[in-house]
Amino acid sequence: MFANSNHPMSAVSPVNPEPDPASYQIRVLLVDDQLIIAEAVRRMLAAHPDIDFHYVTDARAAHAAALSLRPTVILQDLVMPGADGFQLLAGYRAEESLREVPVVVLSAKEEARLKAHGFAVGASDYLVKLPDQLELVARIRHHSRGYISLLQRDAAYRSLRASQDELAQANLELRKLAALDGLTGIANRRRLDEAIDAEWQRARRQQAPLSLLICDVDHFKHYNDSLGHPAGDLCLKKTAAVLTGQLKRPADLAARYGGEEFAILLPETGLDGALKLAEDCRRHLEQLAQPHPAAPCGTVTMSIGVASALPGEGGSIEALVAAADGALYEAKRAGRNRVAAAG
């Protein structure tokens, strides 16, 4: 039998959802095959409305009852038909959700050997039944308060961990946003500078080449003057999409360099490979055929300067950037809509 104090002979609902630890009520589960004991304990606790009392007389149902009720303390008889109280106690301790629930052994015998064995298998306390009412209530309150405090501490820890995880995720998203250009959605100048520094160091360790492309949308000021800034913004977005569309490897990076200038960083890529990718970018933008009333050819084009270095052989990041920038100047001086390599 499995019943509660308000309705001694009625069935209890199968499973209680785990309550909020902040609102935990003291809940007692008595496991004893003698109804007279259950009634005696019920009477002892009747004057304490904050203590929710339940009992089970069939020891075989004790484990399931504990899982369902989620008691804050279990009063456990040792000798019952068809069950060993010590085995029941060990069973609670083997169940993760019951492992920390205080178990007070109620025994008809006061033997040191039984007490020692009870504590060895996980008992929290040992009382000879029936104890004095004041003592029983005091022990129930003591063990329940300790268990509820444990639950509240664990809940607070889980909440803290969740908050820390949420904060870490938010910080990660903020770092990602801080590394992106607000208009085009690709990497910004800050992210490019960080990537160049990291890839330069890696290329120096691995004796690998590193290439840089600096791209400039031709006659962009005149484009803005002719069609307006909203059209200019859209043009820059399309240009960024063309550049990123040509990148095939995760380490390759396209970034907005400033204004209408873009840059592409190509780790482990020599000059020939960089020139090929630069030409692909130039050609794809030209093929979009975006009208440009102020351009001699009538469409949006770009000029690209390409430089490559072997960091292991010396040089500097500044020299690589200056070389790519110089090559861009040469491409523009030669008539624009073309790719030029650093000499």
What pTM, to 2 d.p., does this model score?
Answer: 0.55
User: What pLDDT does 305 receive?
Assistant: 97
Distance of alpha carbon 91 from alpha carbon 129, whole angstroms: 22
Residues 173-207 pLDDT 10s: 777 778 899 899 999 999 999 999 999 999 999 99
Q: In the chain, which stretches have pLDDT less than 50?
A: 1-2, 5-15, 17
pLDDT tens figures, 124-177: 888 888 888 899 899 899 988 888 888 888 888 888 888 888 888 887 777 777
pLDDT score, position 20: 53
* Set 39, 260, 286, 318: catalytic member: 260
Alpha carbons within 13 angstroms on the beta-carbon side of residue 207 total: 0
Please give the pLDDT value at position 18: 54
23/26 Cα distance (integer angstroms): 10
For 216, the enclosing helix (H) or strand (E) is strand 210-217
User: What is the full DSSP assignment across 95-117?
Assistant: STTTTTS-EEEEES---HHHHHH
Relative to beta strand 83-84, strand 103-107 is: unpaired
Helices 85-94 and 112-120 pack at an angle, to 10 degrees, of 20
Radius of gyration of the chain (CA): 38
Kindly report the backbone phi and psi dihedral angles of residue 200, in degrees, each rounded to the nearest multiple of 5, phi listed first.
Answer: -65, -45
Please confirm, yes or no, whether 18 is among the known catalytic residues.
no
Domains parsed from the chain with CATH numbers: 2-156 (3.40.50.2300), 189-341 (3.30.70.270)
Angle at 92 between CA 89 and CA 98, to 5 degrees: 140
